Structure 1
Amino acid sequence: MRRTRGLSAALATVLAAGLTAVVAPQAAAISESVAFTADDLPTWQTNGIVWALAQADGVVFAGGTFSAVRPPEGGTGSEREALNFVALDAATGAPTDCDLSFTVSSGTATVRALAVSPDEETLYVGGYFGAVNGTAVSSVAAIDIDTCTPRSGFHAAFPATVRALAVTEDTVYAGGDFTSVSGQPRERFAAVDAGNGAVRPFTANVDEPGRAIEITPDGRHALLGGDFFTVNGQNSHALAVVDAASGAVKRAYGSGFIPTASVVKDIDTDGTGFYTGNEGTGGGVFDGRIALDLGTFDQRWRDTCLGATQAVESHQDVLYSASHAHDCSGVGEFPDGRRQHFLAQPTTSTAKLGWFPDTNDGLGESIGPRALTVSSKDGVRYLWSGGEFTTVNGAPAQGLTRFASTGDVGAPTVPVIGADAVAPGKVKVRWRTSLDNDDSRLVYRIYRNGSGTPLATVDADSVYWERPQASFTDTTVTPGSTYTYRVTASDPVGNTSALSATTSVTVPRTAEPYAAAVLADGPDLYWRHDERTTPYVGDSSAGDHSGVMSGGPALGEAGATAGNGTSYGFDGTDDRLHGDRRTTVGSAYSLETWFRTTTTRGGKLVGFGNNTTRNSGSYDKHIYMANDGRLFFGARGSSTNTVSSPARYNDGKWHHVVGTQGPGGMTLYVDGARVAGSSLYTTHQNYAGYWRVGGDNLSGWPSRPSSDNFAGRLDETAVYPTVLPAARVAAHHQAATRQGDTITSVQASEDTYVNEGSKSTAYGSATSLAVRGSSGYEAYLRFELPQAPAGTVLTGAALEVRTDSSASAGSADTVPVRPVTGDWTEEGTTWNTRPALGPATLGTLTPPAAPSSAAAVELDVAALRAALGGQYGVALTSAGTDALWLWSSEAPAASGTPRLVLTFSPQ
């Protein structure tokens, strides 16, 4: 790109227009190596397309096809005429007092290339135009920067569009559509004297348009890019290295280096290499970037992302690019899907850094950004981009945008949280990692029971196409108690998301039979389908291999296994789940899920594919149903190998299906029994992809159903890195019928408190309850206890309360819980009429010290077991002087009201 320094003070005068410079200490928040935040700054806008950028001494020049500029959205000032050119202050984004108009007598004038001389005195402009401020020129002009006027001594006539410029101390190099310069034959590349425009001997004739030209840092070579297939008669497509003085070919790039349907749109250099931005059309194209060595001109790396690259800019060992990248699966990154218009990667690698500001496609050819340049002012660096976009980061911004090296103010997105507990003594708190467009590594803080102090912190990486699950296992929990959790995400300078939604989990007293059986076999992925918050699908395995919903599966209906779990409903049209992390599958694996359906259109239940929301191009290792209800398990070896069930299972009942493959072959199990298999089918297709549930491509597979998408309910999906033995498959099926703990939550049907300081006052309608020894407060709660479910016995009872929001709600005093033996009513009980209490202590509550915080106390199980099926009252008492204030059952927030959590375990 065109990197220049310096500008005179005359050109740097800024028209304030409501904008202020961004001057701040250097931010340390941005992802490692990235020099700019992803937060776009306000900048004046064009009414058309910006094709070219250059900069000098804190001023950015923009050229294109537009007729006016206007203030940014919400800024002050008025639209003004700007015929294909504007100069802007790098730090404010406002126009300077340099006003140049590029016009043509017929046709549409346009500026396509800009470059500043090394002595910082001249701006060279290329494009298609016949005059600058009325002074006749021919598609290239030299502008005196100090006076902002055309240099009268520069005469170079280009009869067709100039698309690229590069400048040394004495020479201007040009590329474009022309076949002569000042009447001398020069086919699409040429060089002229930087002072007077006289044509240089340099001859590098090509057969198709030239689009990019750069001079190597040593000044010895010119790097050419474009549409061409020959250079000076020698085969070299889209890229060539020629002698900077003569134009003689020094390195040609033969057939296949860049596909014939692809071209080079831009070239940039740094101290060790040069980089190409490429655009292609049709199938089998190359749209990405190539890094080449300046010493050998050999390729260092090649980034095969699809989505035409329009501009590249190397800055501090990072290559920034403007494109509309939509498929980077070729380099192990995001699959074909949404377009991402800016990328950053090390100059040594194809791996993308965590910097993802974005635009829309915009006007014209719907390309998005087309030009990049870096400018500095007052110690702050700015990355500018121009193009045909009309939004930046989702907000209106047309033609121009900029990003600074300071001022990272964007907070990460709010984590989407879940939690589960399948065994006594631990809770797995898990969340879908957040997105921050300039920080890929974030810090997550986990808060329990409303506390303002984090229980733990976890660091985790995420980028927009891969936001895998992060988790924390809380081992400081009590069986039978309920806990709430929330999570925040912070970037390295402290920009912090809002708290996540609250997730609640009750710790079992005995292990859940089915979940324990699955986890005992070491799954890499275990989606229990219990999440209630879209689009996150939590993973209960140690692999943290979460999923994402698309379409909109129906949540919350009872699941396939005994207990409290739920399932997801799929509509057979577009409801699907996909893994949130790209992975590969080893030589042995097992798939497991439960399903219930009456469909006659079939569909895929579970499988592996190389895409996420779109149908995959590579797809196998799947279980699908034919129209008639038979199940097929298939993997692609030398052909599409399948085994299938003889029976039909679209009968509206829950069924358990497992498919295994390994060196011993392929086996299909239904409801715990082997129904099909083959020892011949030992291999599958090897590719990186995503686990899919509910639908994906089935083209070319035997008995292909009418629908790729499954209509019905699915539950308890697991993937294992081993072949499950038949005995374990049967054990899983049997475990699904065994009852684990039944958790019942009972809110207080009545509650009140009494006050020694107001002995005749009843507080039954109050939204808070008070407890204190002196002067006295006592609180009373009544619960309607259920009978024990058949085959179970009460094994645990926990009273859960929450302090109200008053600053002094917490207490340092313990609170004994005692049975109420006397009569009382919510409306009529006062200090004078308070009920008698039993002598026993059911449990002692240690209250929180802070407001809006939860607490729990285990109660005497035997006492409550004897009262099942009837009413039971408890009193909260204290001997201390520090009052405790709790939400009552009349509180507006139901989650804070007192409740009993009863655990019934199998006998």
Structure 2
Amino acid sequence: MRRSRGLTAALVLSLAGAGTGLGLVLMPEASAITPPVAFTADELPTWQPNGIVWAMAQAGGTVFAGGTFSTVRPPDGSGSGTEQEAVNFVALDAATGAPTSCKLAFTVGDGSATVRTLAVSKDKKTLYAGGYFGAVNGTPVSSAAAIDIETCTPKASFHPSFPATVRAFAVSDDTLYAAGDFSTVEGQTRERFAAVDATSGALRPFVANADEPGRAVAVTPDGKNVLLGGDFFTVNGQNTHALAVVNSATGAVAKTYSTIPSNSVVKSIATDATGFYTGNEGSGGGVFDGRIGLNLGDFSEKWRDRCLGATQFVLPYDGVLYSSSHAHDCTLNGEYPDGRRHHLLAQPTDYQGTPPAPVDGFVASPRKLGWFPDTNDGLGEGIGPRVMAVAEKGDTKYMWVGGEFTTVNGVAQQGLTRFASTGDVGAPTTPVASAASVKPGEVQVRWRTSYDEDDSKLTYRIYRNGSSTPAHTMTADSLEFERQQASWTDTTVKAGQSYTYRVTATDAAGNTSALSATASVTVPVSVQSYPNQVRADGANLYWRYDDTVSPYVADSSTDGNTSGIQLNAPALRQTPGAVSGASTAMGFNGTSQQVYSDHRQTVGASYTIETWFKTNTTRGGKLIGFGNNTDRSSGSYDKQLYMTNTGRLVFGVYNGSTRTVSTGLFETYNDNKWHHVVGTQGPSGMALYVDGQNKGTLNVTNFQQYAGFWHVGGDNLSSWPNRPTSNFFAGQIDETAVYPTALTQAQVKNHYDLAKAPTDTVSKVVTTEDTYINQGAPSQAYGTSTSLAVRGTSAYETYLRFNLPAAPAGTVLKSASLQVKTTTQTGAGTADTVSVVPVTGTWSAAGTTFNTKPTLGTTPLGSIAGVPDGSAVQSVELDTTAVSSVLGTGYSMALTSTGTDPLWIWSSEATAADAAPQLILTFGPK
């Protein structure tokens, strides 16, 4: 049962304000992340060395780290613990990240000692260490040692002699395999690879001599073969570069490889139940820096990830291949272009279903998963992370990472970090939302999908008119480098009324982003001809540039969802736009600003590119084009419209040479007027249209095939005919569209004509003053209250004053509505009908009380039958004829009721979003 509120409630509400908002969906912290990723991206406090970690292994909840360092210290800012000596080795508790009581010092008499590899026996009792060192805790060794894990002491019985650096170990039941720089072991020839008894260190008869250093070694799960990786070009005299499979007992070559480029090497090899995987590094042209997945059955290649960026380590775990690298260019894998470095990545070890067809002779690897913790490049060679290990303690699993980095996720942390399988606490980024309507009964709500470092599938909730209950809930996928637009069409809206929308993103653990900025839209009372036709003609990219926030440009096409990303802050909402009505344009400075599309795509055999522009530049620039990069200059670029320095327009493609169509020598368009330009290509060749007229054709039906991104306002133009001074366009651009077909001349001309046709315009008029009266306090004035009230018994009435605009020339009022927003207090809504009536008497906000209330008209302008609880915008349709008669004047209206259930709404003094009462007036052609 609802209780009526009187003066006390009004005074309480007057103190409410900007802090009020939606009641967001709150969910408890959970461990969930998007499968098959097994770890969060939230770094945990971990002790850190003062140098580089090269090696890592784990056993029984303890993580062993080796490298080149002399001390370890607590996490920055932890305030607990003091720096400890740690000579090239430290043992740490997997769950706390703190050092254990196990202390080992790896030293050498001449030079600098280093630990380069660590491996644990299958029974988890022995830790093997390799590198370049001559003693462990004073016990003489020769670059290889066995440590009893329980007592943390070197095993004196294990003493093989490796006269040069050991870089990798792999352990079978009774054998330790080694890779490195050595050419002899125990005085016998063993070039770069060797095997010793796992207990005594005695040399095994295994011979797999390589001509260049060995860097990686692994034993197949069945123990029958050993996988070798390194710099070599021959093993046992057989040609095989960087990778080979040999018999585990004899070293006889079982499989050779010739598909790794000569300037690349294998740095890491790891196996799981069905495959093995390599991490590769190289330098120079044609380098291979990525990862290979191979089958264990016949050792054939199943996929290849050709990202560039020096892969240092691979770790398969529960169907996911985790890797450390500085991958900066995944173009050849169909993912992100050359740009910033990504140091930690994850991808499935196998395809679910049929793999794609080979490209350039290789099957592309499965796409990256949503796991993007990151480090910097750090010390030494500036590689970043170099080694990884998974450890378990209690019910939690930990991904440990070591290397030469000095930051993790932007926070200072050197050499070691870790991530857990539980406790995801990072919320997704806040969505950037947009809303638009081009015809009655429909609003498109669009947003740039959010980014979460360990969740690729997020749940989005769309809130309408400030309601705390979502109008729609849906999921959408996104990755750090691919955040496509998501959208929802609201089909419950009414013509002539305004609506607001906000969006949140929630990850699998229940962490929820902040609300997006409010996106506002007024539903037209008739179809907007130009945008409706662009959509009807099949545009699959349509940028209208009506966006109010950076860096998002909404795609207004029906199904395309290819949004744009603003680079270097182009000017928003430039007026007037190219199309008559309320549409706005975007301004570009001609030196650095552009918009590029948000995901890689290909272009079919037929297409159309279309845009409007206005400029007086004499430096030319690109209007729209296709290129293979995003925020960096593209190396492949065509399917473009650009302007020369003199103002001529050029449409061009590349099919082995540049092929162009251009306007005439004296047909220039840098006259600071809006112009419409369209380029088409298809079975009939190329055509260029300007302002609805055909300016030339060319019988060219093909172009360079590559995956890339659409660019507006700039990108590379090097080597193109009549290349302008600037790659970037200075001026305004509006209504950019791309179609998967070649538009006809009639369609192009129709677009040009529709843009000039009269269209509806919307005016939003906020109250100039407002107040209410209270029968329970007949002498009290409420002109400064942040809330207003309506009730029949005992009476509250609300009064609103507006300065109404006159109808623009040649137009009439087509619709009018009053919008108010209920307050956040409990029971602010009403079950009664509230009427809007004219005020015929005089009043002022400061002086009106119940005793001095003005007289009211008898004919209602409109009414609303009940308002639900929950702070939200409510709309009342008004009598268009009655409002038309008072346009161009100051006009007052009142909110009244005959019931006993009060309505509480915000006044113009309130600071809540969308608080002030306002009129929405739609004007259109007579």
Does TM, scored on the shorter chain, surpass 0.5? yes
CA drift at 1:444: 0.8
Q: What's the CA shift string for 1:652-689, capped at 9, x where partnerless?
A: 111110111110111111111111112x1111222111
Match of 1:399 among 396, 404, 415: 415
Equivalent residue for 1:14? none
Q: Distance in 2 between matches of 1:764 and 1:272?
A: 76
1:525-549 superposed Cα distances (whole Å, 9 cap, x missing partner)? 1000111110111011021111111
Of 515, 520, 533, which aligns to 1:504?
520
C-alpha distance in 1 between matches for 2:62 and 2:564? 47
Which letter does structure 2 place at the counterpart of 1:289? R
Contact 2:834 2:897 in 1 (8 A): yes
Where do 1:128-207 residues align within 5 Å?
128-207=132-211
The question of whether the paired residues in 2 share the 8 Å contact of 1:815 and 1:877 is answered with yes
Match in the other structure for 1:3: none
Q: Which residue in the other structure is 1:288 paired with?
A: 290
Describe how 1:707-786 pairs up with structure 2 within 5 A. Answer: 707-786=726-805
Match of 1:60 among 59, 63, 70: 63
> In 2, distance between residues paired with 1:848 and 1:773?
15
Matched, 1:435 2:451: yes
How far is 1:119 from its partner? 2.3
Name the structure 1 match of 2:649: 631
Counterpart CA distance in 1 for 2:814 and 2:283 is 68
User: What is residue 21 of structure 1 aligned with on the other side?
Assistant: none
For residues 502 and 911 of structure 2, the distance between their equivalents in structure 1, rounded to whole angstroms, comes to: 20
- Output the amino acid matched with 1:129: F
| Paired residue secondary structure (1:813) | strand
Secondary structure of residue in 2 paired with 1:594: strand
Q: Over residues 592-632 of structure 1, what are the superposed CA-to-partner deviations in whole Å (9 max), with x where a residue is unaligned?
A: 10111122221110011111111112211100111111110
Aligned residue in 1 for 2:228: 224
Residue 499 of structure 1 aligns with an amino acid whose one-letter code is L
Shift in Å, 1:747 = 1.0
Residue 553 (str. 1) matches residue 570 (str. 2): yes
User: How far apart are 1:27 and its partner, in Å?
Assistant: 6.2
Q: Relative contact order: is structure 1 or structure 2 higher (C-alpha 8 Å, sep ≥ 6)? A: 2
Supply the AA of the counterpart residue of 2:120. V
2:722 maps to which residue?
703
One-letter amino acid matched to 1:40: E
Alignment-derived partner of residue 859 in structure 2: 840
Question: In structure 1, which of residues 638, 655, 667 is the aligned counterpart of residue 675 of structure 2?
Answer: 655
SS at match of 1:398: coil
- Partner Cα distance (1:26, 1:355) in 2: 19
Gap runs ≥5 in structure 1: 1-24
Deviations 1:717-770 (A, max 9, x none): 000111111111111111111221110111111211111111122222222211
- 2-structure distance, mates of 1:894, 1:52: 55
Deviation at 1:847, TM superposition (A): 5.4
Partner of 1:644: 662
Q: 1:650, CA displacement in angstroms?
A: 1.3
Q: How far apart are residue 408 of structure 1 and its match? A: 2.1
Q: Secondary structure at the match of 1:812?
A: strand
Q: 1:827 aligns with which of 839, 846, 863?
A: 846
- 1:809 pairs with one of 808, 825, 828: 828
Question: CA shift at 1:224, angstroms?
Answer: 0.7
Matched, 1:681 2:700: yes
Between the aligned partners of 1:28 and 1:751, the Cα distance in structure 2 is 51
The answer (yes or no) to whether the contact 1:846–1:855 under 8 Å persists in 2 is: no
- Shift in Å at residue 171 of structure 1? 1.8
Change (3 A) 1:120 1:750: closer
Name the CA shift for 1:247/1:57 in 2 (closer, same or farther; >3 Å). Answer: same
**SS in structure 2 of the partner of residue 736 of structure 1:** helix
| SS state at 1:723 partner | coil
Distance 1:546 1:26, change over 3 A: closer
Displacement of 1:828 after TM fit?
1.4
User: Could you tell me how far 1:846 is from its partner in structure 2?
Assistant: 4.3
The 1-side partners of 2:330 and 2:410 are apart by: 22
C-alpha separation between the residues in 2 aligned to 1:750 and 1:60?
A: 69
Q: CA deviation at 1:332?
A: 1.2
Among 438, 441, 452, the alignment partner of 2:468 is 452
Assess if the C-alpha contact under 8 Å between 1:26 and 1:405 holds in 2.
Answer: no
Question: Which amino acid in 2 is paired with 1:665?
Answer: G
Counterpart of 2:892, as a letter, is: G
Residue 90 (structure 2) aligns with: 86
Aligned-partner Cα distance in 2 for 1:233–1:87: 41
> 2:806–2:888: 8 Å Cα contact kept in structure 1?
yes
TM-aligned CA deviation for residue 448 of structure 1:
0.3
User: 2:61–2:391: 8 Å Cα contact kept in structure 1?
Assistant: yes
Which amino acid in 2 is paired with 1:209?
A: P
Q: Aligned to 2:534, which of 502, 510, 518?
A: 518
What are the Cα deviations for residues 127-182 of structure 1, in whole angstroms up to 9, with x where unaligned?
11111112221111111111111111111121211110112232211111112222
Supply the distance in 2 between the matched residues of 1:413 and 1:806 (Cα, whole angstroms).
29
Shift of 1:73: 2.6
Maintained 8 Å contact 2:29/2:510: no
Give the count of matched residue pairs: 880
Which residue in 2 is equivalent to 1:602? 620
Find the partner of 2:50 among 43, 47, 50: 47
State the SS of the aligned residue for 1:832. helix
Task: Report the AA paired with residue 822 of structure 1.
Answer: G
Task: Report what 2:809 is aligned to.
Answer: 790
Structure 2 partner of 1:573: 591
User: 1:259 is matched with which residue: 244, 258, 261?
Assistant: 261
Q: Does 1:529 align with 2:531?
A: no
Amino acid in the other structure paired with 2:727: D
**1:62-77 alignment to 2 at 5 Å?**
62-75=65-78, 76-77=80-81
1:588–1:723 CA contact under 8 A, matched in 2: yes
How far, CA to CA, are the matches of 2:314 and 2:414 in structure 1? 20
- Distance between the aligned counterparts of 1:459 and 1:393, measured in 2? 26
Distance 1:568 1:533 in 2: 12
Aligned to 2:112, which of 105, 108, 120? 108
Partner Cα distance (2:824, 2:83) in 1: 52
TM-score by length of 2: 0.93
Query: What pairs up with 1:865-876 in 2 under 5 angstroms?
Result: 865-876=884-895
- What residue in structure 1 maps to residue 23 of structure 2? none
Partner of 2:16: none
Q: In the alignment, what sits opposite 2:491?
A: 475
Amino acid at match of 2:83: E
Q: What is the letter of the counterpart of residue 42 of structure 1? A: P
* Offset at residue 328 of structure 1 (A): 1.3
Deviation at 1:117, TM superposition (A): 1.3
SS of aligned partner of 1:515 = helix
Which one-letter code corresponds to 2:47 in the other structure?
A: W
Is 2:276 aligned against 1:274? yes
| Offset, 1:692 | 0.9
Q: CA deviation at 1:893?
A: 4.0
Is 1:890 the counterpart of 2:909 in the alignment? yes
For structure 2, the 5+ residue unaligned runs are: 1-27, 352-364
Worse-matched range after superposition: 120-129 or 351-360? 351-360
Distance 2:637 2:869 in 1: 54
Contact in 1 for aligned 2:30/2:510 (Cα 8 Å):
no
Contact 1:846-1:857 at 8 Å conserved across structures: no
Deviation at 1:58, TM superposition (A): 1.1
- Compute the displacement of 1:231 (Å): 1.1
Give the letter for the 1:582 counterpart. R
C-alpha contact 1:525 1:718 (8 A) present in aligned 2: yes
Name the structure 2 match of 1:586.
604
Other structure's SS at 2:616 match: coil
Is this contact kept in 2: 1:513–1:739, CA < 8 A? no
The match for 1:32 is 35
